[in-house]
């Protein structure tokens, strides 16, 4: 009887060898892949990233698909403010960021590739704001912008042409406070970042996105960036080629 059990055990061992060998090959292949870190934070609806949880959302799915197609393993930074991510990217201490606005200064320190439109000029209003139904309703109005955001030159030129007065907040929260306390009539800034701030900060509950908005500008795009100091920068041509395939397949639109 013991010999019979021994034979059965041996047969089971033999039958398991090909599976284990295949698993070992797959594991070795995964280990051979370069590992790139994406620096990000909580920014719904693009991605939800709460402390103690893994990031989820449509942009996370997109980046995982890009990683698979490009042959690298994607990892995530801890939830990190975008200003800190930019510094880490410049220093080569992280590899990737998403959703950047192009500037020549940034292009000098990051590798950059467009993947989506960008909405940096969404108008938000308060109860005291004028009614906005078309572009001419902006004429002569007071708008608050934020110093820590990059606005398209064409938008700043439009504000001048419409004789709008610009006041500046040092960051998003201070800019919204200027609107709330009637130091400005309108706020213009990034759609998703601003919507998130309104959602999490109860003192801004009377502020809202205006129904009418300027037409989207196809020349203004959102960029994927890689650190020029990344040890994996040689992967950039492959990564951008695969990203372009996803753009062509309309898998990278988040508005």
- Written as one string, the DSSP assignment of 26-84 is HHHHHHHS-EEEEP---BTTTBB--TTS--BSHHHHHHHHHHHHHT-EEEEPSS--HHH
CATH of the domain at 161: 3.40.190.10
Total number of domains in the chain: 2
Has residue 131 been placed in a domain?
A: yes
Report the SS3 class of residue 168: strand
Q: pLDDT digit string (tens) for 78-111? A: 999 999 999 999 999 999 999 998 889 999 999 9
- Identify whether residues 105 and 155 lie together within a single domain: no
The confidence band for 153, taking pLDDT boundaries of 50, 70 and 90, is confident
Give the three-class secondary structure for 255.
coil
Within-domain flag for 44:
yes
Instruction: Report strand pairing: 96-101 vs 221-227.
Output: antiparallel
Quick check: is 65 in a domain? Answer: yes
- Judgement on whether residues 198 and 240 belong to the same structural domain of the protein: no
Is the pLDDT reported for residue 255 higher than 90? no
- How many angstroms separate the Cα of 133 from the Cα of each of 136, 173, 190, 210, 217? 8, 26, 20, 9, 18
Least confident window among 34-38, 140-144, 248-252: 248-252
Residue 229 within any structural domain of the chain: yes
Same domain, 40 and 105: yes
Same-domain status, 55 and 128: no
Please tell me the pTM assigned to this model: 0.76
The pLDDT mean for the chain works out to 89
């Amino acid at each position: 009887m013991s010999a019979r059990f021994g034979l059965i055990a041996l047969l089971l061992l033999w039958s398991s060898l090909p599976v284990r060998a295949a698993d070992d090959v797959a594991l070795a292949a995964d280990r051979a892949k370069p590992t790139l870190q994406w620096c990000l934070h909580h920014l719904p609806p693009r991605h939800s990233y709460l402390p103690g949880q893994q990031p989820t959302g449509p942009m996370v799915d997109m980046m995982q698909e890009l990683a698979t197609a490009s042959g690298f393993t994607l990892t995530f930074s801890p939830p990190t403010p975008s200003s800190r991510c930019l510094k880490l990217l410049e220093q080569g201490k992280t590899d990737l960021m998403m959703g950047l606005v192009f500037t020549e200064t940034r292009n000098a320190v990051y590798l950059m590739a467009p993947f989506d439109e960008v909405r940096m000029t969404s108008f938000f209003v308060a109860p005291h704001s004028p009614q906005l139904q078309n572009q001419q309703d902006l004429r002569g109005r007071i708008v608050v912008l934020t110093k820590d955001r990059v606005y398209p030159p064409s938008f700043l030129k439009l504000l001048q042409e419409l004789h709008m007065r610009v006041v500046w907040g040092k960051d998003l929260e201070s800019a919204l406070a200027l609107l709330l306390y009637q130091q400005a009539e309108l706020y213009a800034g990034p759609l998703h970042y601003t919507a998130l701030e309104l959602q999490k900060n109860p003192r801004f509950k009377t502020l809202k996105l205006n129904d009418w908005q300027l037409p989207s500008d196809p020349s203004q795009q959102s960029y994927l960036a890689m650190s020029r100091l990344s040890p994996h920068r040689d992967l950039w041509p492959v990564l951008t080629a695969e990203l372009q395939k996803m753009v062509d397949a309309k898998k990278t639109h988040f508005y």
